[in-house]
Amino acid sequence: MRARAVLFWLVVAGFLGPAMVLTLLRLVQADGGWWVRGVAFTPLALPAYAVALVLLVLRGVAGGRRGTALVLVPLAGLALHAYWLAPLYLGANPPPAAGAEPLTVMTANLNGGHADSASVVREAARRGADLLAVQEVTPDALALMEEAGADELFGYRAGETGTGAEGTMLFSRTPVDDVVPLATGFSGFTASVTVGDEPLRIVVAHPRTPIDSTRGWREDLRLVLEAARTVDADLVVGDLNATRDHEPLLALGDAGWRDVGELANQGWQPTWPADGVEPVSDLPSPRLIAIDHVLVGGRLAAIGSDVVDFGGGDHAALVAEVAR
């Protein structure tokens, strides 16, 4: 009987302990690679708190002061994380203007050129994408995209290829001009895209990861916010290497740039890892964190977004539909 009780409390602690760590990380927003990366998993604390709460209630632990205190821990955690997640499922979403033409925006990370670049182009064609932002695009990946018909699908482009994680490009069905590079650790730029009679200002970005330097990661995301403010961006698109629980993305949201999926109340849409991670790559893996984004400013309405898997990439693509 004692062994069963010990096992029960070990199971409860197995759910409650990690959940409390994630809550602390989200609240503190401390520097340090492991701390910052831990914040990315914040949404996973909610089901962990829920399981711990159910286990405690089923065992009848709620009786007495001690039991009530124990139950209050997962209950409070559940309430807090539900509050943080609620905007993804609830909230006002201003509709498009009457007669406004929808615009389909797609962003995809090509995994240092190792992803199926042709598949990305085919998916963009199938979805009728008007804008396609790609990160980690190498010269070889670009050549494969061109063979798959990228030039026929998109008559205009901006940005450059690179090695590894450096290349970032934007493909557009309509003219792109006023391209200004961002001084981020990886790559990015601002541009003006002609849509209808008016230009849209867009920031395409791929900040550094918080693996080697959280200072560099924060600086890159600060530059993204600064660029969005400078050009009064309508769209901020790309692999931002941050989730909406990270302080720099919270700052973008507070400044007026919010995820299409959030505004459209479409829930949590994780994009990484999509096809396994080292050292066990190319194996099925659940997508756990949402680091790819299509953010809209105040002049665009969010219609909806969804996640698309494609071969060879460690990210899934994100497709969003917006309108004025």
pLDDT in tens, 67-106: 667 889 999 999 999 999 999 999 999 999 999 999 999 9
Mean pLDDT of 9-36: 94
Residues carrying CATH 3.60.10.10, the chain: 103-323
The string of DSSP letters for 235-283 reads EEEEE-S--TTSHHHHHHHHTT-EEHHHHTT------B-SSEETTEESS
Q: Which residue type does 235 have?
A: L
Judged by DSSP in three states, 114 sits in coil
CATH of 103-323, one of 3.40.960.10, 3.60.10.10, 3.30.420.240, 3.40.630.30: 3.60.10.10
pLDDT in tens, 244-256: 999 999 999 999 9
Those residues whose C-beta lies under 8 Å from the C-beta of residue 110, and which sit 6 or more positions away, are 117, 120, 134, 135, 136, 137, 138, 141, 313
- pLDDT attached to residue 307: 96
- Cβ pair 162, 187 in contact under 8 A: yes
Mean pLDDT of 272-276: 80
pLDDT in tens, 122-180: 999 999 999 999 999 999 999 999 999 999 999 999 999 999 889 999 999 999 999 99
Tokens standing for residue 157: 């482009």
pLDDT exceeds 70 at position 277: no
